[in-house]
Amino acid sequence: MFGAEFEPIDVVVDGVRIHAVRGGDGPPVLLLHGFPQSHVMWHRIAPVLAREHTVVAADLRGYGDSDRPDAGADHAGYAFRAMAADQVGLMAALGFDRFTVIGHDRGARVTHRMALDHPDRVERLALLDILPTAYVYANVDRTFATAYYHWFFLIQPADLPERLIAGDPRYFLYRSLGSWGSGLDAHAPEALREYERVFDDPAARTAMIEDYRAGASIDLEHDAASTTAGHRIAAPCLVLWGERGVVGRHRHGPLDVWRPLATEPELVTGSVITGAGHFLAEENHADTLAALQAFLRT
């Protein structure tokens, strides 16, 4: 889907194999996907960025063709901290000690954690269509809870969500990809087939569910510790959100939420992507790409 200039790569980081594709030449850019997707979500973005950058589009642990390690009793195996360390290790193995990270959805949460845990590695970061995890749980209202019902469904103890989703996995996949202000037709057929292939695997579904369980438990502990320690985003940060998505409709604007979390609030910039819901890189890839290119060239 990315073209012949991209090559598949697999790197083992602390015993976990991370799958990715790499293409282009120039300053390194890491692309991280969200739920329930994989690196293929970037197929409209990555080839263009690769004209000026070395682009690495990776699968988070548990997603796509990356390994699915055990979560552990405290779900730490799928904490954003563990996922961020995977990606830092991947980039280091490829020879990149400092790089830009662009994340969407769960990948954006990994990107946020990476900026806190590995500030020396993150040159700049872009966060697509999210508000901070801790902020969301502290400010849930009816609108958010209704739209993001899956947050509260997937955090239920095993094996409730696993068994219910197993009744009709494709329905749950399609309902997720066609929600949050986006339609299922936002996704290219070949990308949809990849998401279907992975989601058909019960182990993959459990790994994705564990991601959410970690988000409501150990990730919040990590966030609280970072806040207490005074850790903030130190790199320039771009925040983008879809016009029809939930993030932009929240009572507090995305930039108003993210800027206090940076050491230099003026370095947090961003805008709405019109004509798009949550899956803005697919629905309006032209404007999303233009915003990312302008940020990378600044």
Which residues are catalytically annotated?
Answer: 105, 278
**DSSP letter string, 140-175:** --HHHHHHTHHHHHHTSPTTHHHHHHHTSHHHHHHH
Look up residue 40 and give its DSSP letter: G
CA–CA distance, 198 with 287 (Å, rounded to integer) = 29
Q: Inter-axis angle of helices 202-215 and 189-199, to 10 degrees?
A: 90
Amino acid found at 170: R
Q: Residue type for 110, please?
A: V
User: DSSP state, 291?
Assistant: H
Amino acid at 208: M
Q: Report d(CA 40, CA 67) in Å as an integer.
A: 17
CA distances from 290 to 44, 94, 235, 286, 295 (A): 12, 27, 20, 6, 9
Distance CA 17, CA 13 (A): 6
Can you tell me the distance from the alpha carbon of 117 to that of 98, in angstroms, rounded to the nearest whole number?
A: 13
Question: What is the SS3 string spanning 92-126?
Answer: HHCCCCCEEEEEECHHHHHHHHHHHHCCCCEEEEE
Total Cβ atoms within 10 A of residue 229: 9
